[in-house]
Amino acid sequence: MRYGGASGTLAVADLTFKVDKGEFAAVVGPSGCGKSTLMRLVTGLHIPQAGNVIVAGQHVTEPVSIVGMAFQNPSMLPWRTTLDNILLPLEIVERHRKRLRAHRAEYVEKAEHLLEVVGLKDFGSKYPWQLSGGMQQRANLCRALIHEPQLLMLDEPFGALDAFTREELWCVIRDLHAAQDVTIILVTHDLREAVFLADKILVMSARPGRVLREHRVPFARPRDLEITYDQAFNDVVHQLHGEIANARRAA
């Protein structure tokens, strides 16, 4: 994938990886290595100039409807309540849009259940400006899941939050992944986050980005936050840190 024409910036090249159905994969690497480009390619927001992207057995040639996305900025619409923000994808995804008006009560019930799961019970009537940053990000996760995506793409979703809130949301994602048959790809700079949440970790090179190494996380699920203090856990984190540092030096 190259930006800016034939002589422009080559963002990714020879980028090859596979994520199995139901798997939780984390993508880490140096700044500018093409992690966000990877997200756009997988979701069909960009189409590669060479190579193929296949999601759920289908070649990607347009935006993928089975994907839910959550980014660092929750981007909640300030004039809509939290509940109505969560319902927004249902107005866009065709298979839900056709039945939303007749079955609104059913969708509202589903949204309220998601709010309860992420610790926001009774907050559906609040507006975004009445929620903290962490609460907005919880609602953002609900919005990404309301249309029952088969693939959830998370791009630095907790990067702007304080450490305690971030760890709380790690546990929310951990539990959502365990409860739902959803494949997750997480792009993150936080190596502890990657090791705590993922089944496998993809380490990318400096630009043009490609996958240098793939690590299988050796810790059984479910994982408690206490594991982040274990020596074995931190050994994995340090190994990843060294590989990314080497990738930066090789740029």
Q: Which of 108, 123, 146 is the last residue of a domain?
A: 146
What is the structure's pLDDT at 16? 94
Confidence tier at 251 by pLDDT (50, 70, 90): low
Segment 111-157, tens digit of pLDDT: 998 898 888 999 999 999 999 988 898 898 888 888 888 999 998 88
Nearest to 197 by CA among 211, 212, 182, 217: 217
Rounded average pLDDT over 218-226: 95
- SS3 for 21? coil
Segment 16-39, tens digit of pLDDT: 999 999 999 999 999 889 988 999
Domains identified in the chain, total number: 2
CATH number, domain containing residue 22: 3.40.50.300
- Asked whether residue 71 is assigned to any structural domain, the reply reads no
Say if CB 28 and CB 203 are below 8 A apart.
yes
Length of the chain: 251
What is the structure's pLDDT at 193? 95
Q: How far apart are CA 44 and CA 24, in angstroms?
A: 20
In percent, how much of the chain has pLDDT > 90? 58
- SS3 for 90? helix
Domain shared by 139 and 176, yes or no: no
